[in-house]
Structure 1
Amino acid sequence: MHTDQLKQEIIQYSKEIGIDKIGFTTADVFSELKERLKRQQELAYQSGFEKGSIEERTEPKRLLPEAQSIISIAIAYPSRMKDAPKSTKEERRGIFARASWGTDYHHVLRNRLEKLEAFIQEKVNDANTKVMVDTGELSDRAVAERAGIGFSGKNTSIITPEFGSFVYLGEMITNIPFTPDSPVEDSCGDCRKCMDACPTGALVQGGQLNTQRCIAFLTQTKDYLPDEFRTKLGNRVYGCDTCQVVCPKNKKVDFHIHPEFEPEHDIAKPKLKPMLRISNREFKETFGHISGSWRGKKPIQRNAIIGLGHYKDTTAVEELIAVMNNDPRPVIRGTAAWSLGKIGTNEAYEAIREAMNTETDEQVLFEMEKGLAFQKEVTTK
């Protein structure tokens, strides 16, 4: 079968199985990305979650020696929650980023790509393929950009003409030499709304992200959150959407095409206090099917504790005291002490002082001192 005819059949089949956009590119080296990744490494801007070496991430033939082409796919997800539950003074809520609403997209996209893979292998006997979604070596965004899915915006997201940047990306390397598609023209222009809105200044310049300052990354870390970022976190328990929400290209974008990605209210916007006492089993049963659960409950709990401090939620004081006194994890005890200080009731300060008499972990004691310092700030104002 001629590859151009096969390409058209693949495009048609992709629509039938719920792929919103598909593009084709060569398996050539991603030379520009390679230089950018080297620069990121030199500046220590990487997250540490990246898979593979810089060579593996930019040279498709290292992953599939006979590689000729890469097929890129995009699937749209919602940007707005219908009838979203509101936070109340008695029940404050956190928020998961939109990319973590509904079923874990890794599973959904992999399923679609495997169907596409089976379709191709049925048509071409000697077809060789390798499927990747986010956790693979290749940069989903670099592939999507070169395959004409969209352009890479200043917020480092792929922005599609149809769905804005609210799309999940995946790809398939293959030994079939498809005719490549043309890239989409960058249309950010002089706009810098995402850079100006970034809460931590993580967007160093258009298209360059210091991941170590990005709230989306910081919500996934397991250690203490550095002080300068705690007040920036707000009620986010996982991820950050600010640079996408402010983007003019996303102004009226809200697609509800795939039921799997519809947000479940109490999961996408969970009540914060119950997060403090959730067991591993309950966490897995409740949140295990969403992508935001991949790091386990500890980062989510730490962020929930900071969120309660952000709200100055006096109704949470008793539970935070219990966490500070009883949780076996120093990071959780210390963060609870900091949050109690932030809430700032007399009961909270008294509990911190009392806990300091029995606490033995130096970092937790340091966090307790920070908590008490809030009281000094109030009295000196």
Structure 2
Amino acid sequence: MEFLLEGIMSVTWQQILMYLVGIILIWLAIKKEYEPALLLPMGFGAILVNLPNTGVINQVLAGVGDTNGIIEWLFHVGIEASEALPILLFIGIGAMIDFGPLLSQPVMFLFGAAAQLGIFIAICAAVLLGFDLKDAASIGIIGAADGPTSILVSQILHSKYIGAIAVAAYSYMALVPIVQPFAIRLVTTKKERTIHMEYKPGGVSKAMRIAFPIVVTIIVGMIAPMSVALVGFLMFGNLLRECGVLGNLSDTAQNGLANLITLLLGITISFSMRAEAFVRVDTLMIMGIGLIAFVFDTIGGVLFAKILNLFRKEKINPMIGAAGISAFPMSARVVQKMAQKEEPGNIILMHAVGANVSGQIASVIAGGLVISLVTRFL
């Protein structure tokens, strides 16, 4: 009887708290449909890794010796040792993205860059709060609004907060419909939010669509070599989509590969959500800094659009600047929904999509630049 009760008696209050965190993530995934493909496996994994003497992480058992846990093994092989899981996911993401709206409106490239402001604000905030440079840089990448990039950067920089960073990144990506409208209204007027825009797409040839991922990879590789794995795999996925001769591989990357890697990544990252590593004051600080990063990402993009309007006769609806974050396509949809609410019939979706896919590229470039700068300083 004592053997049967041993597990129950050894549960700590920190583990019970992690069970609640896991249940909340599962609830958000199912009830609110916030990033369910990631939050559900992360939530269930948080429960698995915090069960007493759980078999999903390595244990030393009396009379048996060392036992290997599947989640810890996946974390070591797929993230810690090779960063394979987050990098491979970029092939699927690239295959999903249509860069046409961006290529037809090159000015949208600027919004992606401007909307990375939150990264640098967050890094400064983390340093001021006492985090060392590697951890501060890893925390700052939450502002990239890109979960795989956040995981990869924190792993390459050997941050000890990878679990909290992953939860913050994906949680705020899921909460874009709540966070972004608030931030947009902080820095815009009713008149600015009702600026009407016509969508006049320019022609984008197949040759341009094929050349784009190749050219971007070469340029980024020259400027920020540490981001080649991120940008290169993203662009490779897009090349599969646009080449026109690998339809089956493109479909596989968009569906089978992306879904499988997302599933494995979600449950694997839960290894970093063990109670002893997660239930800390630092975790709450990281969640707070992540919120600051997302708010300033949005504000940076909006303010940049307002600055451009000072020099343009044909005004830009500044809400489009908010779509320059990497949370694709959620941010573009949020901006369109706000535009429709402010002025029924104002269709700015394709402008927002152009800025949104620009943000996808900008976020991975920013991740590579942060890695390069931090490793150079250290």
TM-score category, normalised to shorter length: under 0.3
Q: Which has the higher helix share?
A: 2
Q: Which has the higher contact order (CA 8 A, sep 6+)?
A: 2
Q: Which has the higher strand share?
A: 1
- TM-score, normalised via structure 2 length: 0.26
- TM-score, normalised via structure 1 length: 0.26
